[in-house]
Amino acid sequence: MAEAVAEHGPLCVGIDPHPGLLASWGLPQDAAGLERFALTCVEAFAGRVALVKPQAAFFEAHGSRGVAVLERVIADLRGSGTLVLVDAKRGDIGSTMAAYAAAYLTEGSPLAGDAVTVSPFLGFGSLDPAREAAAASGRGLFVLALTSNPEGASVQRAVGADGRSVAQSIVAAAARANAGAQPFGDVGLVVGATLHELGVDLSDLGGYVLAPGFGAQGATVADLRALFGPELRGVLPTSSRDVLKHGPETAKLRSAVDVVRRSLEM
């Protein structure tokens, strides 16, 4: 990750083929339209950004043909040298979590990118099979910590018996997992870029922070710096609709990426 960010900057671009975007691109609401959308994005983004984040749900919505498109997206991006974060938000316990880990984090699986998003709300320890699989294959996790949806606060900012919020406990557990890694460990966090206040201490995390909500969802560079600090070290701002609205022309998508990348350098 460090090499990719050094070469391309910290921007993560999402591939979110939801029905509204397919329609705006003039594409049918079926697996063929999904494939055209997704592969156009691959052509536009491969080799131009550090990280691309396909949202698995929009592919799964089309059944086995949609999952096959996701597999091709992952393979084509990784073949270009571009890192892939599969946004699947998986979370379970025991053998089921191990099966998710095998699907998204094991070498040879067609669904395995370079990292996957996971949910810790069955307890951070429930992620152990995923952590072990990631460590064994040289991949990473991005663990939900503080999301920007209004409903999330009732759980994530709830305070436990130790006086810490649930979110701070997740940060602490991720920091322990990353202890000793340089420059960053393989356990990152997901923290919404549109939050009005952070409310957790990330100083000892030792991992990357994925910050969705940059651009069309309202977060600006100034917001990112106010939330995470002026240097934004280790923060990966994520933009999806702000870039994707410029399709379906590949050249326009690439120009949109360049604009967003330059804004992060200011």
- Let me know if 245 is a catalytic residue: no
Instruction: Report whether 246 contacts 20 (CB < 8 A).
Output: no
Helix/strand/coil for 211: strand
Question: Rg of the Cα trace of the chain?
Answer: 18
Q: How far is it between the farthest Cα atoms of the chain?
A: 54
Rounded Cα distance between 111 and 74, Å, is 7
Q: Which of 53, 89, 245, 252 is catalytic?
A: 89
Tokens of 4: 């990719």
Helix/strand/coil for 76: helix
CA dihedral 205, 90, 126, 204 (to 10 degrees): 0
Q: Which residues are catalytic?
A: 89
